[in-house]
């Protein structure tokens, strides 16, 4: 075993252990170190739960990466991502503590997008199987801004059930890590692996029944990291952007579908709700445990396909995209069927 491999393994182990230990520490002292999530009409939980777990995830992945940066093992992309992450995490934690005005959150998210673009993380082209189109610079900057802000909020929207957002981070960033190692980019791979390991450490106290939640500081930070690492990986030539979207498609499809459905119903999309597919399953009688495990199967499949996708010929990539489109349509139909059965049993 080489010294480099040993250092990488140690960094991942530190991320896992540190996140698990700090999460448990926050669980044991809920009233001293962070906000409490009290249940309301739109919640899926019934008892107060601390929502400071995102701090443990940030600590778990941040410490080993910071130590490597101090040793000179870093890149400009990772440094700018770190600055953007600090901004989003700070503003999100302030929101967790007292409810920050929406305009300040959006401003911080937009500034975070600018920081990423300053580090060269820009959505510069539309890259589909067998076809690509370079964006003009003004279009690329605008699309990057919208993409980063949407991913931050998307991940926040999807963080509404025990074990769900943490699980998505484990599978999605593990896919990024595998793609990085197989593509000869060890630093990208190691950074992604540390995030996945930190999320796994958090899950030790968040898997159903959860004793702690991510909070906005965790979910918004993970959303920012998804956007940053997807753009970083594209810039390194590891994968096309659609492949990164496939890795996180269980969240991207659900959140986007739900947003469009709510817009069609003329609902106030900025208000809390319980109309995501996973929420509807829980309301129809599925337990958090059952819903999370079924979700993990979809996440694992999407992550595995995202890893395999870049090596496939274009026609097989299109078949893969079509297959996942069909899978999500079937999931939507399954959710509606479960709801109908639940309604019939209550009637």
Nearest 5°: phi and psi at 269? -70, -15
Tokens found for residue 141 = 């900057």
Helix, strand, coil: what percent of the chain each, to 5?
75, 5, 25
CB 156 within 8 A of CB 255: no
Does pLDDT of 237 surpass 90? yes
The pLDDT score that the predictor gives to residue 1 is: 56
Cβ proximity of 165 and 219 under 8 Å = yes
pTM of the shown model = 0.93
- Give CA–CA dist 330/4, Å, rounded: 45
Q: What is the pLDDT of residues 295-327, one digit of tens each?
A: 999 999 999 999 999 999 999 999 999 999 999
User: For residue 191, is pLDDT > 60?
Assistant: yes
pLDDT of residue 31: 60
Q: Is residue 71 over pLDDT 90?
A: no
**Nearest to 54, CA basis, from 289, 216, 233:** 216
| Per-chain mean pLDDT for the chain | 91
Determine the pLDDT at residue 40: 56
Helices assigned H by DSSP within 285-313: 288-308
Please report the pLDDT score of residue 80 as a whole number: 95
Within 8 A by CB and 6+ apart from 183, the residues are 236, 237, 238, 239
Q: Are 37 and 219 in contact (CB under 8 A)?
A: no
Cα 82 to Cα 42: distance, rounded to the nearest angstrom: 33
Give the pLDDT of residue 275: 86
Q: Report d(CA 169, CA 200) in Å as an integer.
A: 8
Query: What does the domain layout of the chain look like in residue ranges?
Result: 3-346
Task: Report whether pLDDT(206) > 90.
Answer: yes
> What does the pLDDT read at residue 239?
97
What does the buried/exposed string (b/e) look like for 307-326 if buried means 16 or more CB atoms within 10 Å of the residue's CB?
bbbbeeeeeebeebbeebee
| Phi/psi-derived region of residue 335, left when phi > 0, alpha when psi is between -120 and 50, beta in every other case | alpha
Confidence of residue 5 (pLDDT cuts 50, 70, 90): confident
Averaged pLDDT for residues 205-210: 91
pLDDT given for residue 3 in this prediction: 61
- Mean pLDDT for 168-186 is 97
Number of H helices, E strands in the chain: 13, 4
First to last CA, the chain: 64
H-helix or E-strand containing 315? helix 314-346
Mean pLDDT in residue range 205-226: 94
pLDDT at 272: 74
* pLDDT tens string 13-44: 999 999 999 999 999 876 655 677 666 555 55
C-alpha–C-alpha distance, residues 331 and 188, integer Å: 33
C-alpha distance from residue 227 to each of 56, 82, 176, 232, 245 (Å)? 20, 13, 12, 9, 10
Q: Please, are residues 195 and 65 in contact by the beta-carbon 8 Å criterion?
A: no
By CB atoms closer than 10 A (0-12, 13-18, 19+), residue 136 is exposed
Residues 85-140 pLDDT 10s: 999 999 999 998 887 888 999 999 999 999 999 999 999 999 999 999 999 999 99
The model's confidence at residue 69, banded by pLDDT at 50, 70 and 90, is confident
Contact 122, 190 (CB under 8 A): no
Residue 256 confidence (pLDDT): 92
| Contact between residue 188 and residue 285 where contact means Cβ atoms under 8 Å apart | no
């Amino acid at each position: 075993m080489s010294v480099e491999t040993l250092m990488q393994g140690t960094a991942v182990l530190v991320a896992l252990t540190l996140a698990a230990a700090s999460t448990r520490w926050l669980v044991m002292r809920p009233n001293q170190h962070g906000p409490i999530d009290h249940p309301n009409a739109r919640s899926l939980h019934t008892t107060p739960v601390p929502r400071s777990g995102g701090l443990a995830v940030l600590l778990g992945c941040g410490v080993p990466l910071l130590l490597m940066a101090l040793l000179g093992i870093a890149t400009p992309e990772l440094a700018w991502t770190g600055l953007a992450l600090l901004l989003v995490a700070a503003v999100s934690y302030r929101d967790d503590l007292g409810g920050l005005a929406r305009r300040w959150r959006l401003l911080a998210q937009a500034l975070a997008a600018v920081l990423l673009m300053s580090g060269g993380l820009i959505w510069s082209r539309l890259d589909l199987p067998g076809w690509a189109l370079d964006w003009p610079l003004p279009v690329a900057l605008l699309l990057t801004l919208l993409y980063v802000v949407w991913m931050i909020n998307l991940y926040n929207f999807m963080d509404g059930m025990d074990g769900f957002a943490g699980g998505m981070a484990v599978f999605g960033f593990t896919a990024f890590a595998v793609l990085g190692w197989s593509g000869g980019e060890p630093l990208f791979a190691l950074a992604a692996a540390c995030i996945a390991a930190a999320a796994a450490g958090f899950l030790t106290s968040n898997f159903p029944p959860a004793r702690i939640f991510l909070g906005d500081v965790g979910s918004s930070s993970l959303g920012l990291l998804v956007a940053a690492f997807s753009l970083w990986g594209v810039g390194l030539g590891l994968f096309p952007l659609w492949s990164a979207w496939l890795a996180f498609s269980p969240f991207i499809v659900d959140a986007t579908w739900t947003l469009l459905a709510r817009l069609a119903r003329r609902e106030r999309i900025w208000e809390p709700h319980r109309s995501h597919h996973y929420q509807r399953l829980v309301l129809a009688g599925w337990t958090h445990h059952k819903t999370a495990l079924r979700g993990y199967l979809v996440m694992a499949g999407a992550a595995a396909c995202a890893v395999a996708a870049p090596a496939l010929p274009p026609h097989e990539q299109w078949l893969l995209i079509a297959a996942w489109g069909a899978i999500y349509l079937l999931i939507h139909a399954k959710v509606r069927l479960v709801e109908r059965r639940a309604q019939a049993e209550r009637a």
